[in-house]
Chains A and B, each alone.
Chain A
Amino acid sequence: MDDLYREIIIEHYKNPSYRGHLDPNDISFADNNPLCGDHIEINLRVDDRGSVSDARFDGHGCAISQASADLLIESVIGKSLEEIKHLNKQDILNLLGIELGPVRLKCALLSLKVLKAGVYGLGSASDDLLE
């Protein structure tokens, strides 16, 4: 328990560094977790070399979903879109530093799905994007 709500998670949930919007932006995408109504939107700015120069997220949901979005956005600034396409489930778990059961995993992975769907230019954030 103390594990699941590690200070870093509570901290990123309560005081996120990357919550907000970028206007203008190059990539913007949003989707929900139908199970619990968690919602994440991401905005990216991409430079000429195809790297993320700035990023933000917005949305609402549980501590796990919002903290993982903040951590993920922090980690992708400076990364190339190609690198983002290769991010997977394990990268999120490494960022959070915890193990998660199947239900909460969905919360943690929503931001990655939304990010990758945006980068690939897809219509919706599917589970196929997590592999």
Chain B
Amino acid sequence: MTLDISKIRQDFPILEREIRPGVKLVYLDSTATSQKPVSVLAAMDEFYRHSNANIHRGVHVLAEESTAMYENAREAIARFIHAKSPRQIIYTRNTTESINLVAYSWGRANLKNNDLVILTEMEHHSNLVPWHILAAEKGIRLEFIPVDDQGLLDLDVYRNLLSQGPKLVSFTHMSNVLGTINPAADIIKLAHEAGALALLDGAQSVPHFKIDVQALDVDFMAFSAHKMVGPTGIGALYGKTELLEAMPPFLGGGDMIKEVKLRSFRPNDLPYKFEAGTPAIAEAIGFGAAVKYLEGLGMDAIAAHEQEMITYALERLEEIPGVKVFGPVAEKKGGVAAFTLTGVHPHDVAQILDSLGVAVRAGHHCAQPLHEKYNIPATSRASFYLYNTREEIDALVNGIYKVKEYFG
């Protein structure tokens, strides 16, 4: 099945926007955050207009409705990643908070001085800094699976590291800079054989291709709604039930308790144990609408479309003299093209593209160590999602030629 992109684009009103008079938006920054379809906007709007109440404790109609909508969204998200139970889906603010939850709760309870955590050189800062903090606090050791010149992980080094008896392997499913899709199932299987748990950063994979957490046998997975046509302010942590149950709570407060005495508390059951305080209710409902939207199109069709986009983009970008695209060949990556243009700083590239309505990102994309590895301070990054077209890639390429004219 292929997607009808022009029909899909009608679902995203922002794509009609003129950035300045006569200049239409070409949005190539979905890796940072995706645009939102009307069904997601409507779900949140409808909640506020019609059902808004705080969840769980109320017995009035609005509270009942709000609670049901909030929990239905959780079920939809669980189904979307093929979790056994919605109780394994913990709402967080985003991927970053999900990873921090594991580091603070599981990490503090289970890691001690000299324990090894394996990460990779292509991690987003959100999967580095929580472990740096734990290293400073507990003296855990960090080792990194290196990235080779093509942007692929060196699994031989990984196998060697595994012989040191790591406690956790935490890695990104897809790089937000190189676009590399890592062989998650193999990495997780090897981790388990070595007695380690595996945490998957799904920020860039869950939005773009079908994920089955049971087939992957992953222990934890973090992802954000805003990168998968949902709202900001909501994300999720998936975890294996027995792990989540054994973990101490993260934040303390209302909703996460079963019983509170003046000097003690008993934590609530899953998933509420990890959801302290009034959550982002409307956003959770928007998250539910987002996964339904993606399911309606079909994740395989979305992945196929993005593969077509990146194949075409690489072909066009590589024909431009002075452009260097980072990361592996199209078949091994998702819809991300981070590039440099000789003699022009990525900020200037992005600025001139912006004048043509083409929105790309410039900087280190929260992956500074990776940029250091490749000896570049920054890249420009174009990224593609279900609503992007070949014409938009042409606009990007024409824009880069314009940049060259300016700086020629």
Contact pattern, A 42-73, Cβ under 8 Å of B = 1, otherwise 0: 00000000000000000011111000000000
7 closest cross-chain pairs (CB), A and B:
A1-B355, A62-B347, A37-B377, A62-B345, A63-B348, A62-B348, A36-B363
Residue ID in chain A nearest B20 by CB atoms: A1
**The one of A10, A39, A64, A107 that contacts B407, using a Cβ cutoff of 8 Å:** A10
> Which of B348, B352, B355, B364 is packed against the most chain A CB atoms within 10 Å?
B348
Within 8 A of B (CB), among A1-33: 1, 4-5, 10, 14
With a cutoff of 8 Å between Cβ atoms, the chain A residues found around residue B345 in the complex are: 60-63
Q: Return chain B residues, CB-CB under 8 Å to A62.
A: 345-348, 351
Q: Contact at B352–A5, with CB atoms within 8 Å?
A: yes
B362 an interface residue at 8 Å Cβ cutoff? yes
Q: Cβ of A79 < 8 Å from any Cβ of B?
A: no
A-B contact pairs, 6 of them (CB 8 A): A1-B355, A4-B351, A5-B351, A35-B363, A61-B345, A61-B377
B352 touches A60 (CB 8 A): no
Nearest-neighbor residue (CB-CB) of A63 within chain B: B348
A1, B353: Cα distance in complex, Å: 10
Query: Quick one: which of A5, A60, A63 contacts B377, CB cutoff 8 A?
Result: A60
B352 touches A1 (CB 8 A): yes
CB <8 Å contact, A36 and B347: yes
Contacts of B368 in A (CB 8 A): 37
* Chain B positions within 8 Å of A36 at CB level: 346-347, 362-364, 377-378
Cα(A14)–Cα(B407), bound, Å: 9
Within 8 A of A (CB), among B1-15: none
Q: How far is the CB of B404 from chain A (nearest CB, A)?
A: 13
Other CB < 8 Å A-B pairs besides A37-B368, A61-B377, 7 of them?
Answer: A1-B355, A5-B352, A14-B407, A36-B364, A36-B378, A37-B364, A104-B351
User: What's the minimum C-beta distance from A102 to chain B, rounded to whole angstroms?
Assistant: 13
- Shortest B383–chain A CB gap in Å is 18
Tell me the bound Cα distance from A37 to B364 in angstroms.
8
Complex interface bits, A91-105 against B, C-beta within 8 A gives 1, otherwise 0 = 000000000000010
B401 at interface, CB cutoff 8 A:
no
- Which residues in chain B, 343-383, are within 8 Å of chain A measured between CB atoms? 344-348, 351-352, 355, 362-364, 368, 371, 377-378
Q: Which of A107-123 contact B (CB under 8 A)?
A: 107
CB distance from B18 to the nearest CB of A (A): 15
- Please name the residue on chain B nearest to A60 by beta carbon: B377
Query: Chain B: which residue is nearest A104 at the CB level?
Result: B351
Taking the nearest CB of chain A, how far is it from the CB of B125, in angstroms? Answer: 12
Q: How far is the CA of A61 from the CA of B348 in the complex (A)?
A: 9
Cβ contacts under 8 Å, B406 to chain A:
5, 10
Minimum CB–CB distance for A27 against chain B, Å: 25
Which B311-366 residues sit within 8 Å CB-CB of chain A?
Answer: 344-348, 351-352, 355, 362-364
The residue in B347, B352, B371 that gathers the most chain A C-beta atoms within 10 A of its C-beta is B347
CB closest residue in chain B, given A32:
B377
Closest Cβ of chain B to A55, distance in Å, is 23
Interchain CA distance A38-B363 in the complex, whole Å: 10
Question: How many Å from the CB of A32 to the closest CB on chain B?
Answer: 9
By a CB distance below 8 angstroms, the chain A residues around B346 are 36, 62
Please, how many angstroms separate the alpha-carbon atoms of A38 and B378 in the complex? 9
A61 to B362, CA, bound (A): 12
Residue of B nearest to A14 (CB): B407
Least Cβ–Cβ distance between B343 and chain A, in angstroms? 9
Residue of A nearest to B364 (CB): A37
Shortest distance in angstroms between B108's beta carbon and chain A's nearest beta carbon? 28
In the complex the two chains form, is B355's CB within 8 Å of A64's CB?
no
In the assembly, what is the distance between CA of A107 and CA of B362, in Å? 13
How many Å lie between the Cα of A104 and that of B350 in the bound state? 11
| Residues in chain A near residue B355, CB distance under 8 A | 1, 4
Alpha-carbon distance A54/B346, docked complex (angstroms)? 31
Contacts of B362 in A (CB 8 A): 36
CA distance A113 to B352 in the complex (A): 26
Which A residues touch B347, using CB under 8 A? 36, 61-64, 104, 107
A35 vs B377: C-alpha distance in the bound complex, in angstroms?
11
Q: Mark B389-408, 1 if CB is under 8 A from A, else 0.
A: 00000000000000000110
- For the complex, give the distance between the alpha carbons of A104 and B355 in Å: 14
| Chain B neighbourhood of A61, CB < 8 A | 345, 347, 377
Output the least CB separation between A64 and chain B (Å): 7
Residues of B within 8 A of A39 (CB): 377
Q: Which residues of A contact B344 (CB under 8 A)?
A: 63
Separation in Å of the A61 CB from the closest CB of chain B?
6
**How far, in angstroms, from A10 to B347 measured CA to CA in the complex?**
14
Contacts of A60 in B (CB 8 A): 345, 377
Question: Given the complex, which residues of A lie within 8 Å of B363, measured CB to CB?
Answer: 35-37
A36 to B349, CA, bound (A): 13
A14–B364 Cα distance when bound, in Å, is 23
